[in-house]
Structure 1
Amino acid sequence: MKQPTIPHFGLYGESSWINDPEFFHIEDIESRSSNLDWKINPHRHAQLFQILILKSGEAQVQLDEQQRKLQGAWAIIVPAGMVHGFRFSPNTDGRVISIAEPLLEDAYQEKAAAFIKPLLSQACYINLNSHRNVFSELWPLIQQLESESAFIREGRALMSEYLIKAILLLLHRQHSSGVANVSNKTEGSHAQQLKELIGNHYRQHWTSNQYAQALGTSTSRLNRVSKRAFNKSILDLVHDRLLIEAKRSLIYTVRSVEEISYDLGFKDPGYFSRFFKRTAGVTPGKFRVLSNQPSI
């Protein structure tokens, strides 16, 4: 049954918010999901990044409206705010690491930012099956993080922070090995900052010029950066972000199209419907009907 709004959790099934700025949590997949028939229903975390490390077994993963089936060793990055759900095969072995956004704020001011920020900015799947040497480096870090979580001892928070950074850096290496990178560091920084600004202001329908002004550059230059980094213009990125949130609301809530349009900053529901049909290929109502099928 759809909810009035998409469920938000601190950790899955725990409604209390986690406000500790140094918060991180690690648990094995079995401990959270085995009593739930190995199924985690679609939900999202407003201020938590999650990293799933699968060692063995099978998982059907739902990120927004997309589904994918994974077998064996994988890493899955789930950005804060993204709707996600899972169905694991029994006895799947893996870990889930939940990281509060403030824990990474210091890292964002360090040299590590160039590696960590891009990795956590969007969902991704990192195949580790054919890279057992990478997995053999990664898994001991996971186990050490578990150990730090289990015992109170001197420097525990600092050690955990270092381990989390090491895990993220290893995952970044593996992910970037198969992904084209923006060669110019300034352009790469602007591209990342643009994505963050869009995430903060897409409901306000900022113009391309407003994004450029916020980054201290020209609209034409920022558009060139956007197209090199994402193969899309600034406006395309804004429309993509609006469409993602519109689809989330249509799939996971019972709010009307009119309510959704106002929530996304559209002053005219009719214009929102035209925007949605132009970008998604179907009307919001039709999309909701087509999406009204059992999720994982």
Structure 2
Amino acid sequence: MERSDYRGKRQIAGLVILFFKDSKQVSAVHTHFDRLHALLFLVKKGRVQIVIEQVAHRLYSGRPLLLPRGRNWFLRLSLSPIEMGIVGLDPKQLHGDTNRVFPRTLFQHWERQTRTIYLKTKELLWLFKLFKIHPTTPSPAHGIALRYGLYMLLWELDRLVQKENPLTSIMNTSGHFLVLQFMELLTRHYGSQHQVAFYAKRLRVTSDHLTRVLKNNTGRTAKYHIQQLLMEEAKVLLSGPRSIKEIAYQLGFNTPYAFSKFFKRNASVSPTSYRSRY
């Protein structure tokens, strides 16, 4: 049997992301979404047919499809090799989970009609960065990376659907791309690397440039993201059975004292007090 690459993500309330390469799975993907999800279909390779309210349409690479929620749909089995992603969004749940303002105009368009957006190849590849954050095991790191990737994706789509010219390019692609690259690196190395310089060097930019791009695109500095991620992971671990010493070394601190000092500075309580309270 052909090895499949078929993954679902639910780290954010109201969000389901699927990416698959096995054409045999095409006909079953609709079972992962419900009628409250507004849907974005992205084909990277191959062609597939979608049936919406008993009307057949073709999905092509470079032409993402926005489908309003409440529609009946299913994908027909593809006989050719395919790489495809689907994002399902429930706007009401998303607002509560992310604490961010999502583009109202985009969802207004999304609610009214099915719409195709025309993209250039490099822009489509940028959108697919969202699907490359695949957790081996769920963790706060991947939830944070997904939140920022989704947030930037929605605002860029909002700008595109408001333009009369269907060939309008995505703006700030390089800045957004760098943010997603940083988030990907962070999900892999936050347990051992806490310095902005490490991530800047891996991304071949200066620390100042990385911090400036993160600040402009997310409202927070690179240092803040590293510390926030460590704090979220530490709080999760403190709710489990591991000792504070084990948690300190797992998160890349040289000593339990260094971890305790970091935690107290950011949470205003020691790890021991946090564990006993929460």
In 2, Cα distance between equivalents of 1:187 and 1:168:
25
Give the drift of 1:240.
0.9
Match of 1:290 in 2: 277
1:264 alignment partner in structure 2? 251
Q: Measure the CA separation in 1 of the matches of 2:204 and 2:221.
A: 17
Alignment correspondent of 1:216: 204
8 A Cα contact 1:266 1:272, kept in partner: yes
Match status 1:50 vs 2:10: yes
CA separation in 2, counterparts of 1:193 and 1:274?
29
Q: CA deviation at 1:155?
A: 3.1
Summarize the alignment of residues 1-296 of structure 1 with structure 2, pairs less than 5 Å apart. Answer: 20-24=3-7, 48-50=8-10, 75-77=14-16, 96=32, 134-136=68-70, 139-141=71-73, 144=74, 155=79, 158=82, 162=84, 164-165=85-86, 167-168=87-88, 176-178=102-104, 181=155, 183-251=171-239, 253-291=240-278
Distance 1:140 1:276 in 2: 49
Q: How many residues align?
A: 171
Name the CA distance, whole Å, in 2 between partners of 1:284 and 1:197: 26
Where structure 1 has 5 or more consecutive residues not aligned to the other structure, the ranges are 1-18, 25-47, 52-62, 64-73, 80-93, 98-103, 116-132, 292-296
Q: 1:154 to 1:217 in 2, by over 3 A?
A: closer
| Distance in structure 2 (CA, Å) of the matches to 1:20 and 1:226 | 37
Task: Give the conservation status (yes or no) of the 8 Å contact 1:273–1:283.
Answer: yes
* Higher RCO (CA-CA < 8 Å; seq separation 6+): 1
Find the aligned partners of 1:199 and 1:236 in 2 and give their Cα distance.
Answer: 14
In structure 2, give the amino acid aligned to 1:211.
Answer: Y
**Structure 2 CA distance for partners of 1:219 and 1:263, relative to 1, 3 Å:** same
**Aligned AA for 2:264?**
K
SS at match of 1:135: coil
Q: Tell me the CA shift for residue 244 of structure 1.
A: 1.2
> Match for residue 86 of structure 1?
none
1:186 shift after superposition: 0.7
Distance 1:222 1:169 in 2: 30
- Preserved CA contact (<8 Å) 1:50 1:96: no
**Distance change in 2, residues 1:170/1:111 (3 Å):** farther
Identity %: 24
TM-score by length of 1: 0.47
- For residues 211 and 184 of structure 1, the distance between their equivalents in structure 2, rounded to whole angstroms, comes to 20
- The CA deviation at 1:169 is 8.9
Amino acid in the other structure paired with 2:5: E
The residue number in structure 1 matching 2:122 is none
**How high is the TM-score relative to the length of structure 2?**
0.50
C-alpha distance after superposition, 1:242-275 (max 9, x if no partner)? 1111111112x21111110011111110110111
User: What amino acid is aligned across from residue 155 of structure 1 in structure 2?
Assistant: L
Amino acid at match of 1:236: Y
Distance 2:209 2:5 in 1: 38
- Give the superposed CA RMSD: 4.0
Distance 1:156 1:286 in 2: 58
